[in-house]
């Protein structure tokens, strides 16, 4: 099996790459910068940007003299701040380039990493399944452009290759709040704010969220790779991916902080005040012309003050996905990683 992973240097992309290597696959990675640690273990790393059609097409050329069997398109611009064009170029144009490259180089399978945010605008999303459509409006450029990209991917299913000898099959996975050892996004930012005393618990009605441990998110992508064969019922569809364990937001945050040995928040904030803070932070950033993301945005405020958990029955039935690592087990592994960091590579302090 020969696979390409865009966004290979990121949290999820790296996990998929390591799993593919363990299976004996030939792995090519595509990322914006070099990752020598991946090259050293056998990943053929190529540097480029998904918004550049020529660079993407080159990355999809034959590997070891043979066409790639599959592409994991993980690369994306994330976050809740920045210009629409910046998100559009990476998330939509980049995805269109990946699709075009698959068709040009006769690649049969495209597994797209989407997001649950493509169907969640405002209010609670409790136990919803894939029958829920896209909202008319979106809370930020990220979910809007990811929704557009997802639609492009699903519409491309069963499209004939450029030479007409075969077809591309596609699938979209919607993982929610990926976390675990090695996280480079959510956990570091949460811990940084907690250590600085800037993190708050949320008051009001209990809101539950479902997350997905990194190993489970990775396994879902490998399940999709295996199931995406000619005539597969999963082709051309999107699937929610999570642990299937909704937790109250405050409890999950507290558990993660305790795993890292970080003190819990001593102050709280109401949902209304958090939304107001998001609006104010955005207004100030716009007024001052700041490019960096504000400490709180309206998008993040909505995520923190609403329930969002999903029915993963379809992924279990059609992909054979089973979340093997529970949240409790994931927290134990996370704690072990933080303890190892404190001890250092030799197992002693320093």
Q: Which residue has the tokens 């550049």?
A: 52
Q: What's the Cα-to-Cα distance from 151 to each of 28, 135, 158, rounded to whole Å?
A: 26, 13, 14
DSSP 124-136: -EEEE-TT----S
173: enclosing H helix or E strand: strand 167-175
Q: Other C-beta atoms within 10 Å of 146: how many?
A: 28
In the residue annotation, 213 being an active-site residue is answered as no
Residue in 25, 87, 88, 142 annotated catalytic: 142
Helix (H, G, I), strand (E, B) or coil at 213: strand
| CA–CA dist 264, 260 (Å, integer) | 11
Q: Which residue has the tokens 């007024």?
A: 287
Output the CA torsion sign for 320, 321, 322, 325: positive
Any idea what DSSP says for residue 9?
T
Helix (H, G, I), strand (E, B) or coil at 231: coil
Output the CA torsion sign for 116, 121, 122, 126: negative
Catalytic residues: 142
């Amino acid at each position: 099996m020969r696979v390409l992973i865009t966004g290979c240097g990121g949290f999820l992309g790296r996990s998929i790459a390591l799993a593919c290597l363990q299976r004996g696959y030939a792995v090519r990675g595509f990322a914006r910068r070099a990752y020598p640690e991946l090259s050293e273990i056998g990943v053929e790393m190529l540097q480029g940007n998904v918004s550049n059609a020529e660079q993407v097409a080159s990355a999809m050329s034959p590997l070891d003299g043979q066409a790639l069997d599959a592409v994991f398109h993980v690369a994306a611009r994330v976050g809740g701040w920045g210009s629409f064009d910046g998100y559009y170029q990476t998330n939509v144009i980049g995805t269109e380039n990946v699709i075009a490259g698959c068709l040009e180089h006769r690649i049969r399978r495209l597994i797209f990493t989407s997001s649950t945010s493509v169907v969640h605008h405002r209010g609670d999303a409790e136990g919803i399944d894939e029958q829920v459509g896209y909202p008319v409006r979106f809370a930020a450029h990220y979910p809007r452009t990811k929704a557009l990209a997802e639609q492009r991917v699903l519409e491309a299913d069963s499209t004939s290759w450029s030479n007409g000898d075969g077809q591309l099959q596609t699938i979209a996975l919607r993982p929610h709040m990926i976390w675990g050892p090695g996280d480079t996004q959510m956990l570091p930012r949460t811990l940084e704010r907690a250590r600085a005393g800037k993190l708050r618990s949320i008051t009001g009605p209990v809101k539950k969220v479902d997350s997905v441990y990194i190993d489970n998110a990775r396994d879902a992508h490998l399940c999709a790779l295996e199931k995406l064969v000619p005539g597969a019922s999963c082709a051309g569809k999107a699937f929610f991916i999570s642990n299937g364990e909704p937790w109250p937001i405050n409890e999950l945050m507290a558990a993660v902080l305790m795993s890292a040995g970080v003190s819990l928040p001593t102050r709280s904030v109401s949902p209304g005040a958090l939304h107001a803070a998001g609006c104010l932070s955005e207004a100030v950033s716009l007024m001052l012309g700041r490019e960096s993301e504000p400490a709180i945005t309206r998008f993040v405020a909505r995520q923190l003050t609403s329930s969002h958990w999903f029915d993963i029955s379809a992924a279990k039935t059609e992909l054979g996905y089973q979340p093997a690592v529970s949240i409790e087990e994931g927290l134990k592994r996370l704690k072990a990683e933080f303890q190892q960091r404190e001890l250092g590579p030799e197992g002693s302090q320093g």
